[in-house]
Amino acid sequence: MDMEKYKPRYVELPKPITTLRRLSLLGLADMEELLVLEKEYGLPFPLLTSEYFVSLMDIKDPQDPLRQLVVPTKEELNAYYNMDVSQQKERGSFDTSGEHTNLKAPGLQHKYGSTALALISNVCAGLCRECFRKRIFFEESGAANEATFPNEKAIEYLKKHKEINTILLSGGDAFMLSDDSLLDLLDILADKTLDHITTIRFGSKIFAYYPQRVTQKLVTILKDYEQKTGKCIQISTHFEHANELGPECIKSLDLLHGAGLIVYNQTVLLNGINYDVDMLYNLFSKMAEHGVRPYYLFQCRPVIGSMHQQVPLVEGVKIYNKLMQRMSGVHKPLYAMSTKLGKMQIVGLHPENENIIVLRRHSSKKIEDTGKVLFYDVSKNDPYWVYT
């Protein structure tokens, strides 16, 4: 594939829903106040879901967890209407992990030694209200063009950096690219000059939002590529609640599992959605039954419009500890957060002072800091997030 000729092409989401009015017509309860706000001020962070995803909700329940994943709330809308990015701590930011400081070429981030992150798509099959990369969907953020991998500069950077052995393909949603587009992209990454990249990891929430996209053909493309190139394909799913794993989702996971692909999951701990030991236990157990390894439980980032979805760190640790008492060894996710300092493992509470969170640097930009332990006092600092 000649990279000059590469152009991303996307699959179409069947029966997309982009307005609150449509949701209201489908029978979602308690929409009146939101409809008034939408009419008056618009939706700053767009709405996108589908009739399929709505079919998994209890439409009569305004607190339904899947509804809260994709439908804006009053708290969210008020946060945007009062948006003042100079008050970042109070209102959040659009780049909570400092991703712009890791940009090495358009669409390519390199933060830690062996892993690079490529943004290959600015299209999703649903828009999560807590999305930490929502800036790519906001014209005003100046980041709407971030998802531009592959391009010449990015490939040159990868060629030179032989220490990179893993590339994470994300966005947006990696699997919203069409099969042909994915094949072209994989072809570019199979070039001899990129032999040091031995693992290609896809980040995708398609299994929850649009599992019908995961066809036998897609799985065969991925498996054939592994066999042809010797590179390992890994898939990182993103689930927050067991209700996302409906029969069609399970079918898509079983296709991956049956083909022997490595699949693991990342979950964000979200107030009102999965802030409960039983809910998390059900989610992780159901995933494990279908070959998906729970990998990370992430602290919700302080993103503009999502601050109300954060759970206090102390509470998060307490939930996590109870969860660990019930999960079997390999199914225990790591409780972590991605801060500007790097990825931190949230280890636990100090045995003598419950206000002190014990953190361990899981990955650090300064490689020699990896593994170092930190103590974070929530009585003197933000109780939800470690700012630097």
Distance CA 242, CA 246 (A): 8
CA distance readout (Å), 296 to 117, 145, 164, 239, 364: 17, 28, 22, 11, 17
The residue number whose beta carbon is nearest to ligand SF4 equals 131
Using CB under 6 A as the criterion, what x/- string covers residues 263-292 for binding ligand SF4?
------------------------------
Beta strands in the chain (DSSP E): 16-17, 49-50, 103-105, 108-112, 115-119, 166-170, 199-203, 232-238, 262-269, 293-299, 334-339, 342-350, 353-364, 373-377
Distance CA 23, CA 28 (A): 6
| Beta strands 293-299; 262-269: pairing state | parallel
Shortest distance in whole angstroms from residue 127 CB to ligand SF4: 5
If the CB atoms of residues 129 and 362 are measured against ligand SF4, the closer one turns out to be 129
| Residue listed under structure tokens 């030991």 | 277
Distance CA 146, CA 108 (A): 9
Shortest distance in whole angstroms from residue 356 CB to ligand SF4: 31
Binding segment for ligand SF4 (CB under 6 A), chosen from 57-65, 156-164, 169-177, 241-249, is 169-177
Interface with ligand SF4 (CB under 6 A), residue from 13, 56, 116, 124: 124
Shortest distance in whole angstroms from residue 221 CB to ligand SF4: 21
Task: Return all residues near 19 (Cβ < 8 A) that are at least 6 apart.
Answer: 38, 47
CA distance readout (Å), 176 to 10, 33, 219: 5, 33, 14
Shortest distance in whole angstroms from residue 378 CB to ligand SF4: 26
Binding segment for ligand SF4 (CB under 6 A), chosen from 71-79, 124-132, 313-321, 362-370, is 124-132
Shortest distance in whole angstroms from residue 220 CB to ligand SF4: 24
If the CB atoms of residues 64 and 130 are measured against ligand SF4, the closer one turns out to be 130
If the CB atoms of residues 122 and 181 are measured against ligand SF4, the closer one turns out to be 122
If the CB atoms of residues 77 and 124 are measured against ligand SF4, the closer one turns out to be 124
Distance CA 333, CA 271 (A): 18
Using CB under 6 A as the criterion, what x/- string covers residues 178-207 for binding ligand SF4?
---------------------------x--
If the CB atoms of residues 235 and 359 are measured against ligand SF4, the closer one turns out to be 235
If the CB atoms of residues 201 and 361 are measured against ligand SF4, the closer one turns out to be 201
Residue 43 CA, chain-centre distance (Å), reads 21
SS3 string of 147-173?
CCCCCHHHHHHHHHCCCCCEEEEECCC
DSSP state of 319: H
If the CB atoms of residues 201 and 205 are measured against ligand SF4, the closer one turns out to be 205
If the CB atoms of residues 131 and 242 are measured against ligand SF4, the closer one turns out to be 131
Shortest distance in whole angstroms from residue 239 CB to ligand SF4: 11
Check residue 214 for interaction with ligand SF4 (CB under 6 A). no
If the CB atoms of residues 8 and 172 are measured against ligand SF4, the closer one turns out to be 172
Using CB under 6 A as the criterion, what x/- string covers residues 235-264 for binding ligand SF4?
------------------------------
Q: Which residues inside 127-146 make contact with ligand SF4, applying CB under 6 A?
A: 127-128, 131, 133
Angle CA 332–318–272, to nearest 5: 90
Check residue 69 for interaction with ligand SF4 (CB under 6 A). no
Shortest distance in whole angstroms from residue 171 CB to ligand SF4: 6
Residue 190 burial (C-beta neighbours within 10 Å; 0-12, 13-18, 19+):
middle
Task: Return all residues near 243 (Cβ < 8 A) that are at least 6 apart.
Answer: 56, 57, 65, 66
Q: What are phi and psi of 277, to 5 degrees?
A: -60, -45
Residues in the chain: 388
Interface with ligand SF4 (CB under 6 A), residue from 65, 92, 150, 172: 172
Shortest distance in whole angstroms from residue 87 CB to ligand SF4: 23
Distance CA 252, CA 180 (A): 20
If the CB atoms of residues 129 and 286 are measured against ligand SF4, the closer one turns out to be 129
DSSP state of 211: G
Residues that bind ligand SF4 (CB under 6 A): 124, 127-128, 131, 133, 171-173, 205
